[in-house]
Amino acid sequence: MRWSRYFWYTSKDDPADAEAPSHKLLLKAGFIKQVASGIYAFTPPAHRVLKKIEDIVRKEMDRSGAQELLLTVLNPAHLWQETGRWDLYGPELFKLKDRNGRDFCLGPTHEEEITDLVRHFVNSYRQLPLILYQIQVKFRDEKRPRFGLIRCREFIMKDAYSFDTDEMSAIISYETMKFAYERIFKKLRLNVLMVEASVGNIGGKSSHEFVVLTDYGEALVAYCENCGYSANAEIVPLGKGIQEEEEEKPLQEVYTPNVETIEELANFLKVPPRKIMKAVLYIVKGEPLMVVIRGDRNVDEKKLEAILGTDEFRLADDEEVRKLLGTSKGFIGPINLPDGIRVLWDNSLWGVKNMVVAFNKPDYHLVNVNPGRDFAYGEFVDVCEVRDMDPCPKCSSPLKVRRGLELGHIFLLGTRYSEPMKLYYRDQAGEEKPVIMGCYGIGISRIMAALVEQYHDQMGIKWPTVVAPFELDIVCVNPQDSEQKKVSEELYLLAQEMGIEVILDDRDESPGSKFADADLCGFPYRIVVGKKLKEGKVELVKRSTGEREDLEVEEAIQYVKELIQKDKL
Amino acid sequence: MRWSRYFWYTSKDDPADAEAPSHKLLLKAGFIKQVASGIYAFTPPAHRVLKKIEDIVRKEMDRSGAQELLLTVLNPAHLWQETGRWDLYGPELFKLKDRNGRDFCLGPTHEEEITDLVRHFVNSYRQLPLILYQIQVKFRDEKRPRFGLIRCREFIMKDAYSFDTDEMSAIISYETMKFAYERIFKKLRLNVLMVEASVGNIGGKSSHEFVVLTDYGEALVAYCENCGYSANAEIVPLGKGIQEEEEEKPLQEVYTPNVETIEELANFLKVPPRKIMKAVLYIVKGEPLMVVIRGDRNVDEKKLEAILGTDEFRLADDEEVRKLLGTSKGFIGPINLPDGIRVLWDNSLWGVKNMVVAFNKPDYHLVNVNPGRDFAYGEFVDVCEVRDMDPCPKCSSPLKVRRGLELGHIFLLGTRYSEPMKLYYRDQAGEEKPVIMGCYGIGISRIMAALVEQYHDQMGIKWPTVVAPFELDIVCVNPQDSEQKKVSEELYLLAQEMGIEVILDDRDESPGSKFADADLCGFPYRIVVGKKLKEGKVELVKRSTGEREDLEVEEAIQYVKELIQKDKL
């Protein structure tokens, strides 16, 4: 490709409002353009990257025995009503009506449609097991689209679905996909952590996420470097600690005017936050629920959701607090509570001594409160957000907790879809049974962002060779120099002949701009045809390491070809 | 692929309600499944065909210098409002709101979005010319989706857009695409006719369609085997004929009770329909318009639309006819008309003699009406539907008029989009000018239907080798025969090794079913491993011609490989 004729325009300025490196660099390097919030067009070089990602995914899916097909974007409402998700999925589901008033949604995932397709054709154990997949555009009306391709409303996804006769066979399908995913991310050169995960609104029995660690990920993941345990933080269990051995001091009622937060209270009383009992009042489907947790920790609402079995809860507002407890938020506590309010005690409060606690009396706290002596515990649960250095639930070594970006998510669904949609098969005895399903997603366009998150420096992107829009950039420093121009052209043609994906930077730009763009756009290799040509040499720059090397003109392309081949192994 | 493990299920029964052969066969052979009216999922074998079609299109587009990118399905309303098409496009545009109440449509075509993208980056003549394209899912809420993949509401399209500095350069881009399209259809083995076409609601200056002749096409195309002229029938001009030389007979008023149609009137009066003047009353934006045409011809409403410059017209209903003319539909005519009704005379009525005509008096007609003597002509226009044997507008030889299916459509748009969207560039003199655009579509999924329309017989599909889901089907007649089974497996593995796309029919079915499915599904080549194996032979069946040939086992695969290679040339 000659850059002068290619639709690829970089920007000198950093884009406004782009926080994540991938968002910033993909915009600046001209790979994407925003069409609307969370909706991006892919320019020609981005399309090349996307296709390479797709091809790597497709190849490994095919190798695993999965079969590619293509479902539809428009999903009729009645399919989603069969599983109840028409209502359950919530506002992320884009809904619309056709000209005849019939309801459709834009598929955010395709369990319903694939189950409908499979029940149309499959009715015998002989037709199973089966894994089907597609690579398709998907839609989710995210509340807060952000970070460019990281959280989009329109995105490309590979989604696969497995169909088995029994649990054991389903686990084999699940493991097959897990193995394929590991190969995919390895081939994509992504350092991915596989973590246990929650099943969320897809439903099902078990689930794993494939996560790349980055500050702009949506998830918190925890992993143990000692035993290898890893999980989405929201499902890492935190148990009760050992009873504190501390002399029980006399209970005191203290006047604490205008202290509203844990921090203010800790400063006021000169105690560490961990010595305070923090009470949080929720409204769960209209009913009050108090969660009490140690003052230095936070409630993990995903854990709470799992305990309650619903996500229909929210913090009580000031008005509700006043009405239910007769006080304001800073002074609510589990002591001196009116009847009928359920209280959950987080494990972090097991066996504490001499705590500070509010007791629903405005402007007062109790100090040196002790369980048994001053109050009785109720129901203990684990609703505490996991933090760095918390103990591994397997081996108790300190966990690492990091932000991560979910690139893949696999679910063992069981009969969550086959039962309501009546996808049954007849077994060898002629008996009708529900098919056991699994589903397996990979965010294709999100992978593009993840690659940039993992491979960049302050100058720009450093694409791994396997996904780079072009493998080699040839820069002619001074196109007015006829010898430089001639050799650049010759090397360009030779590289093409040798099957290298090459771009010739023949634009009417300064050498500085060309070098800056090469670094920004992230070509793995750059050959600079400049002054050294007088000595028969060109310079090779390797983007990943910054190494520079002088090469004989005659050998340059062959040398680069070998490096590229090595990169692709 | 082993068929026993493949998600591909044919049906023994003809599908109900499928008229077009492609619709019927694609359903019966298990290539597609209807999800909703005009919305189809593609099963794994169909996906293979689609990918091959896409690859052929992509290769020729790339060769032509066009650059692939990927735009978005969700198009924000404001882009479509810039060109006025948000309102003009009509009910075929799927519209929806996001969770914040913002308006979007599902892109049925992408002139707006691509113009927005290009204006974001392009501002100089140095950046032009440029051709961009994508292969993407598109949406049109058709009033009457039908014929399976022929007229869908969700479909795959290749759409390309050209950007040039001036008309001459734009014509070169247009010709480049025309040439690429010719190559594409040739490579797809489709017999396509290129015809002049109307620009419709895309707008622009000139346009051609690429049409495959089939009874289930939506369009009428006319072509001249003498001079090579060809056009969509709706733009074929029909001129005035030569004055009739016939003695003028005396005018008569005739009682014609209860004759409502031209046919009834012709029978009643014993005259041929061509001797009757047929008057049709339209309501155009609320105003009446009478079109008068020869009784044996019909009004082409596309021609009328072009004359009126609007598609906002419809036939008057009975009530309107009564109110405006005081009569019923069978008796309306251009004579004795109340004031204020515009009349258009079709060219077919030029210089006729002794005609039968209604004059808005219930139950009466005039006979032997002659222009000049009995009435005065008004404005003459060409609104007559073209028919087989009508004269070619270029050489007057008889035209052939056939049904055709539009597979490609190219438009020289001019500044229809660049002007309202302010896509300007600076020329060499620094002057700002609008970019001249073209747009170029190919229906990828519709091509699949067109291929079946062109390549089928009563037994099923006959895929050309270049697009077949599998090139070779190996059928083991009796899998209980260990020798047959062994040889089938060996040939299957050998074919795979030799790079043939092969399916082994190892299903637990009768030989008859397997042969029927092979014919139905349309594999170009079939090797039958049966009784002749005792003589060291297998049978080769060529689907396109039905030819059968016995081959030595050892040579069979090499022989087929050569046939396949020849087919792909």
Domain ranges of chain B: 18-69+108-235+401-453, 252-381, 470-568
CATH fold of A10-71+108-236+401-453, please? BirA Bifunctional Protein; domain 2 (3.30.930)
B424 touching A, CB under 8 A? Answer: no
For domain A470-568, give its CATH number from 2.40.30.30, 3.40.50.800, 3.30.70.20, 1.10.10.410.
Answer: 3.40.50.800
pLDDT band, residue A431 (cuts 50/70/90): very high
**DSSP string covering A272-317:** -GGGBEEEEEEEETTEEEEEEEETT--B-HHHHHHHHT-S-EEEPP
pLDDT confidence of residue B310: 82
Half-sphere exposure of A347 (CA within 13 A, CB side): 15
pLDDT at residue number A406 = 95
**Mutation choice for A interface testing from B33, B111, B128 by most A CBs within 10 A:** B33
| Span A541-554, average pLDDT | 97
The mean pLDDT value for A244-262 works out to 91
Q: How much is the pLDDT for A201?
A: 62
Percentage of the residues of chain A whose pLDDT score is greater than 70: 99
Q: Tell me the CATH number of domain B252-381, given options 2.40.50.100, 3.40.50.150, 3.90.960.10, 3.20.20.80.
A: 3.90.960.10
* CATH architecture, domain B18-69+108-235+401-453: 2-Layer Sandwich (3.30)
For the CA atoms of chain B, what is the radius of gyration? Answer: 29
A120 in contact with chain B, both atoms CB, cutoff 8 A? yes
Task: State ipTM.
Answer: 0.91
Report the alpha-carbon distance of residue A293 to residue A345 in Å, rounded. Answer: 6
Asked if B74 contacts B139 with a C-beta cutoff of 8 angstroms, the reply is no
Chain B interface includes A33 (CB < 8 A):
yes
The mean per-residue pLDDT over the stretch A202-214 comes to: 85
- CA dist A464 and A568 (Å) reads 9
Contact B73 A33 (CB under 8 A): no
* Per-position DSSP letters for A382-432, written without gaps between them: --BPP-TTPBPTTT-SBPEEEEEEEEEEEEEEETTTTTTTT-EEE-TTS-E
Are residues A72 and B126, on separate chains, in Cβ contact within 8 Å?
no
Contact call for residues A177 and A440 (beta carbons, < 8 A): yes
What pLDDT score does B202 carry?
62
A506 interfacial to chain B (CB closer than 8 Å): no
> Residue A36: pLDDT band by 50, 70, 90 thresholds?
very high
For residue B237, is the peptide bond before it cis, meaning its omega torsion is within 30 degrees of 0?
no
Sheet containing A342-346: give its strands across: A313-315, A277-284, A287-294, A342-346, A379-381
Mean pLDDT of chain A: 95
Chain B residues whose beta carbon lies within 8 Å of the beta carbon of residue A140: none
The answer to whether A67 contacts B6, with C-beta atoms less than 8 Å apart, is yes
A299 confidence band (pLDDT: 50, 70, 90): very high
Band of residue A385 on the pLDDT scale cut at 50, 70, 90: very high
Q: From chain B, pick out residues whose CB is under 8 angstroms from the CB of A107.
A: none
**Any A CB within 8 A of B35 CB:** yes
Chain B contact for A77, CB < 8 A? Answer: no
What pLDDT score does A202 carry? 62
Query: What's the average model confidence in pLDDT over A303-323?
Result: 91
Query: Using CB atoms within 10 A of its CB, is residue B20 exposed (0-12), middle (13-18) or buried (19+)?
Result: buried
Please answer yes or no on whether A73 and B74 come within 8 Å at the CB atom.
no
Q: Using the beta-carbon criterion (under 8 Å), do B74 and A35 form an inter-chain contact?
A: yes
Q: Which of A216, A156, A220 is nearest to A18 (CA)?
A: A216
pTM attached to this predicted model: 0.91
What residue ranges in A122-182 does DSSP mark as E strands?
A: 130-139, 154-164
B373 contacts B248 by C-beta, under 8 angstroms = yes
> For residue A450, what are the CA distances in angstroms to A107, A182, A213, A215, A469?
23, 16, 9, 11, 16
Residue B170 CA neighbour count, 13 Å, CB half: 23
Q: Please check the confidence at residue A347 and state whether its pLDDT lies above 80.
A: yes
Residues shown for chain A: 569
* Length of chain B, in residues: 569
**What is the structure's pLDDT at B201?**
62
Residue A440 has pLDDT above 70, yes or no: yes
By the CB < 8 Å criterion, does B143 face chain A? yes
Residues A301, A289: Cα–Cα separation, whole Å: 13
User: In this model, does residue A149 exceed pLDDT 80?
Assistant: yes
Across chain B, which has 569 residues, the per-10-residue mean pLDDT values are: 96 91 97 97 98 98 98 98 93 96 97 98 97 98 93 97 97 97 97 88 79 89 94 92 88 92 93 95 94 96 90 91 90 90 94 94 94 90 95 95 95 95 97 97 97 97 98 95 96 98 95 97 97 96 97 97 96
- pLDDT value at A205 more than 80: no
